[in-house]
Structure 1
Amino acid sequence: MVLKVKIQIKGITKPPVWRRLMIPGQLTFQQFHQVIQAAFGWQDYHLFQFSKGGYGSNPQIGIADENWSEEELVDAKTTRVSQYLKVKGEKFCYIYDFGDDWIHQIIVEDVLNEAQIGPVLINGKGACPPEDCGGVWGYEELKSILENPKHPDHRDTKEWLGLKARDQWDVNWFDLEETKHAVAFAIW
C-alpha cells in the first residue's frame, strides 16, 4: 500500500506551508515523523505526536518520555502508518514541538495498491518556519520584524536566523530538488 498525502501546517496562510508525499504504508510512525521533518526542514529537536484530532484525541502515537507514560501512548517506533491511515479522504494530525505547537494536518489524497520502498516528495509550497520561533504567532511576528528594517529587533532577528545584512527571509522559498533528496534519505 502506498499513501499519497498532503501535509499542511495549520494557521499559516500567506503563503500556506505544505508538502505532498507518496509514502509506503509499512512505514512506522517514527519513520513518518522523520520523513515529515525532512520534508519541512525541521531539525527534530522536539517531541512529536500523531493523533486523529490533535491534543486530547485518541490514539496518541509518539515516543514515551518522562512526561508521557507508555500506557497513554501508542508506540511510534512499532506502529505502522497503515494501521491507522487506510482510506482516501482520511485526516490525521501531526504535532511537532509541544511548546511552539506546530500542528500539521495530514490528508490522505489517495491509497494505491502498489509497492514502494521509500518516501517520495512530489511537491510543496512555502518556507518552513524556523525552529523555536514561537509557533504560528511567533512566526507571524518574525515575518513582520524582518519586513521592517527599522524595527528595533530587525538586526538581532536576522542574526538569530543566520542571515547576513543583505539577506532576506523569503516566505515563498522552497527548493523542491533539495527537499526531494532530504526526504529520500530521511529513513535510511
Structure 2
Amino acid sequence: MRLDALAGKGDRFRYTYDFGDWWEHDLVVEDCCAADPDERYPVCLDGERACPPEDVGGPAGYAALLAALADPAHPEHLTMREWAGPAFDPAAFDSDRATVLLRRCC
C-alpha cells in the first residue's frame, strides 16, 4: 500500500521493529510529492547515526553498548568493541548505503 493512501503531510505514526527488542520509531510525514519518473525508488535522502547492531538488546542494550564504547576504562569496553566490530561507529550514517539496503527489501 502506498504511504499517501494512509497518511498525509504532517501526519504522525509509530512503527515497531523487532517485536523481541521492541524498537519503536515515531515518524512524521514531512511532505508528499509526485514521484520523479527518472528516479529509482526507494531512496534515502538523509539520516543521522548508525543503526544499532542486530540483537543488541533493544534500546537499553544499545544504551549500554554506547556507554561501554565511549569509555575505554569501562569494564565491558573491549568485549563490546569486539562484539560490535572495529568498524562500528555509532555517529556514522551513509545515505547511499541505506538506499542499497532499502532496495534489497523492496
Q: Name the CA shift for 1:100/1:185 in 2 (closer, same or farther; >3 Å).
A: closer
SS in structure 2 of the partner of residue 106 of structure 1 = strand
Q: Which residues of structure 2 form unaligned runs of 5+?
A: none
Alpha-carbon separation, structure 2, partners of 1:145 and 1:114: 43
Letter in 1 for 2:68: I
SS in structure 2 of the partner of residue 103 of structure 1 = strand
1:105 aligns with 2:26: yes
Alpha-carbon separation, structure 1, partners of 2:69 and 2:35: 45
1:175 aligns with 2:94: yes
Q: Name the CA shift for 1:81/1:114 in 2 (closer, same or farther; >3 Å).
A: closer
Q: With a CA cutoff of 8 Å and minimum separation of 6, indicate the structure with the bigger relative contact order.
A: 1
Contact 1:85 1:108 in 2 (8 A): no
User: How far is the alpha carbon of 1:156 from its aligned partner?
Assistant: 1.4
TM score, norm. by length of structure 1: 0.48
Q: Name the CA shift for 1:86/1:98 in 2 (closer, same or farther; >3 Å).
A: closer
Higher strand proportion: 1
Contact 1:86 1:111 in 2 (8 A): no
Residue 6 of structure 2: aligned partner: 85
Contact 1:93 1:104 in 2 (8 A): yes
Residue 50 of structure 2: aligned partner: 127
SS in structure 2 of the partner of residue 123 of structure 1 = coil
User: How far is the alpha carbon of 1:140 from its aligned partner?
Assistant: 1.2
Alpha-carbon separation, structure 2, partners of 1:83 and 1:186: 20
Residue 147 of structure 1: aligned partner: 70
Higher helix proportion: 2
User: How far is the alpha carbon of 1:159 from its aligned partner?
Assistant: 1.6
Q: Name the CA shift for 1:89/1:126 in 2 (closer, same or farther; >3 Å).
A: same
Per-residue CA distance 1:92-115 (angstroms, 9 max, x = gap): 111111221111112111122446
SS in structure 2 of the partner of residue 129 of structure 1 = coil
Contact 1:92 1:106 in 2 (8 A): yes
In the comparison of the two structures, how many residue pairs are matched?
A: 104
**Kindly, what percent of the aligned residue pairs are identical?**
38
TM score, norm. by length of structure 2: 0.79
Letter in 1 for 2:89: D
Q: Which residues of structure 1 form unaligned runs of 5+?
A: 1-79
